[in-house]
Chain A
Amino acid sequence: MLPLLWLRWKQIQGTANYWLRLVDYDTRDKDVMNRAYGLYLLGFMAWWTVAMWAIAAGFIATIGGALPATARQGVLAVAPTVVFIGQTILIMLKLHSSPYKLSLPDIAYVGGSPVQRAVPVTIGFFGDVVLPMVLGIVIISFMAVALNVRLGTVGEVQAAMRSALAVIPVITLTWAIAWLIGLARMVVPGARRWSALWLAPVVLLPLPFVAPGIVAWPGNMLASILVGEAVDLSGMAPVLLAAAAVIALVSFMGNRVNMIDVTDESLIHAQMREISNLLLIAPGAYARARSQIHAVTFKPVLRLPNAEGLAMLVARSALTYLRSPLDVLKLLFAVALVQGGLAMLAYGLPGLLIIVWLYAVAVAPTASLIKVFSADADDPFMRQFLPMDSLRLLLADAAVPMALVVLASAVLWLLQPVPAATGVLGLVLIGILTLLLALCRGASLLRLTSMRAHVSYRVLAVIGLGVTLGAGLLMGGILAAVVVGVFVIAIFASLIAAA
């Protein structure tokens, strides 16, 4: 185990050295000035983190102060289901390919070494759970502050710390179960050949309605602590014990995996890791390299329907999403954004939340909405075979994902207890917000501005969606957002058609 831990440590060091060199700090240089610069960087980072945390916490507290009294009940009702849906999606992802992934050096040194496989698998598990754990702690802490600053029975700082501690066993258990199921696929003979096996967890989704007490148990515990209802953390002890037991099973199962299979399913991941530094420096080059790596191993299913003209574009778009179901899953980000925007207007949530919502719009990976249009518009070679203007091309290419987002959002909306008039207006706004998201994404690809595509999207999305939702918030209703949204759509559509 020690050599493997040492190897991981060296890999972390290597990555850290790379990023430090980017800010001009060389860890091998023992010069006093270089060391002093290192101390300055450390101090600056610490100050920046604390300052940003304080600003964010203050902002969240302001929003929390304006939350309606029903917010706590809403969280208690919704959180367990959201947690369960997240757990199911995670299991699907871990069933899609081996949960234990090797990097290229790992393939050379770990995959072929005669070590007990339980050791690298267990280390891999803890490596995999660190990032979601940190993200989970940050998000849950802010949520606890927002929910307890005015409505809570305990202080917001205390609630944030309790929630942060409570989320650790929940995330560990969630990841451990997903890993266990993913590893079981690698161990059960023949299971790797079932290419659609990863879709099987979808059948679990109705379970919270059938047996809410059992499947939503960790989510319920977490939600109770989050809203300050349960002041005692001892309720999390069974979750912690369950997590420990499942981790032990992960190690046991890990000892039975075939490293040749793991290597086979890690190749794309390993290649992607090698170019991962490009993600921040050159996102376009990273995306192209990523799609090329995926294209080499792509296995097509189903056939292209024999439609004609624009119908062919729609049919081909549908086929693309059927052949790449992970992109359908990614549409959930768009559904969440649409639902968030709609909820702000329908439930009169604090206007300041629009900043959080617009930030989410800017950073959420909603590019899968225009995956097909992106392939058509990105390069003039394929584009020259498509004899229609950019707007019609965008609408045809994005018709299927937009329909899926509208459908999912409409179902979620209709499940909520809202008056009939609001319900109808909400459905219209769902369509408008979805179309706006697609238009902003599409317009950013057409170089309407001199900015890079991802910057252009953020600017267009913040303006287009911000004006639409802002109008609704300022004028106090969904109708205003619908009217302004139609106006914004008309502007964006004419710009795209003329591009």
Chain B
Amino acid sequence: MTINAEREKATAPLLRLTDISYTYGSYLAVNQVSLDLEAGELVVLAGRNGAGKTTLLRCIAGWNQITHGQVELSGASIYEAERAMRRNLVLIPDTPPFYNDLTVMEHLQFIARVNTLANWRDTAQNFLKRFGLTSNQNAMPAALSRGQRYKLALCMALLVDPQILLLDEPFGPLDPFSAHQLWDDLWARRGRGKTVLLSSHQSPLNTRPDRYLFMEGGDLVADGAPDDLKEALRANSNSLDDLLRATIEHGERHDPAAEV
């Protein structure tokens, strides 16, 4: 590697997407999306149903092989640095699957010991307590509610403590109290220099991320801080609801097909 390449890698953003596209058959789900994510950012990815949010997250995590473009983690392509990616990036889908033959606590024990984490037991107990799963630690995941299963997935991801945490619709299965609690946890992670990218239609009351990304029809149509987007889109407020509505209306005003 040349000195310039080394320097480029050192100054590269934590995660960089360059013109990535993904198609399901002939359907273009993600269309040439480019963006950078820095360390210590909490970013919300929003958009209507079918906008391509989940597909984009899966492409970033390497679960879907992109049909065009590049995903780089600290300057290295995720396909070339797969092992490094595994340690630094975790995606929780909206309905995470679990092993059918391990209990809640055994799931945490298993991934902690496979990843040779030190002092995992106290950390795991803290997460279980925080997410209200202490009384379920000997239960099978199949016996938990959807929200509890999502909380277990969160415990697993937080236990591994990846540099980048990707969450698909995390607030959907959670009650309002747990949603707020999760937001506080994610904000605390951001404070420790960890990056969070989550897709959502909703966010807990009176909370704002560092950045919003809005997708529509596979395109990334808006990217910016809440206040900047409020100005640019002339939205009523910088809340997720108002910004999403303003983004869609702005898109329809500027879409020739919609005008026709």
- Whether both chains belong to one complex is answered with yes
- Please give the residue numbers on chain A whose beta carbons come within 8 Å of chain B beta carbons, in ascending order: 291-292, 294-296, 298, 300, 303-304, 306-309, 312-313, 316, 319-320, 323-324, 375, 379-382, 384-387
Cα–Cα, bound, A300→B143 (Å): 12
Cα–Cα, bound, A387→B114 (Å): 8
The residue from A295, A304, A324, A381 contacting B110, defined by CB atoms under 8 A apart: A304
Asked if B2 CB lies within 8 Å of chain A CBs, one says: no
Main SS class of interface, B: mixed
Interface 0/1 of B74-104, CB less than 8 Å to A: 0000000001001101111100111111110
Contact residues, B124-141 vs A (CB, 8 A) = 138, 140-141
Contact status of A296 and B142, CB under 8 A, knowing A306-B113, A309-B116, A312-B113: yes
* A296→B143 contact, CB < 8 A: yes
How many inter-chain residue pairs (CB < 8 Å) link A and B?
A: 80
Shortest CB distance A497–B (Å): 12
- Please give the residue numbers on chain B whose beta carbons come within 8 Å of chain A beta carbons, in ascending order: 61-63, 83, 86-87, 89-93, 96-103, 106, 109-111, 113-116, 138, 140-143, 153, 156, 160
Shortest CB distance B226–A (Å): 30
* B115→A295 contact, CB < 8 A: no
Chain A residues with CB under 8 Å of B106's CB are: 300, 303-304
Contact status of A313 and B93, CB under 8 A, knowing A296-B142, A304-B109, A387-B83: no
Chain B residues with CB under 8 Å of A384's CB are: 61, 86, 89-91
* A385→B111 contact, CB < 8 A: yes
Chain B residues with CB under 8 Å of A319's CB are: 101
* B61→A380 contact, CB < 8 A: yes
Shortest CB distance A358–B (Å): 32
Cα–Cα, bound, A295→B144 (Å): 11
Cα–Cα, bound, A292→B96 (Å): 13
Show 10 A/B contacts (Cβ-Cβ < 8 Å), sorted by A: A296-B140, A298-B100, A300-B103, A323-B101, A379-B97, A380-B91, A381-B91, A382-B99, A384-B61, A384-B90
* B110→A316 contact, CB < 8 A: yes
Closest to A323 in B: B101
* B115→A387 contact, CB < 8 A: yes
* B110→A298 contact, CB < 8 A: no
Closest to A311 in B: B113
Chain A residues with CB under 8 Å of B93's CB are: 381
Cα–Cα, bound, A79→B222 (Å): 74
The residue from B99, B103, B114 contacting A309, defined by CB atoms under 8 A apart: B114
Closest to A309 in B: B116
Shortest CB distance A389–B (Å): 8
The 7 closest A-B pairs by CB, nearest first: A295-B142, A295-B100, A385-B111, A312-B113, A380-B63, A304-B106, A379-B97
Cα–Cα, bound, A294→B140 (Å): 11
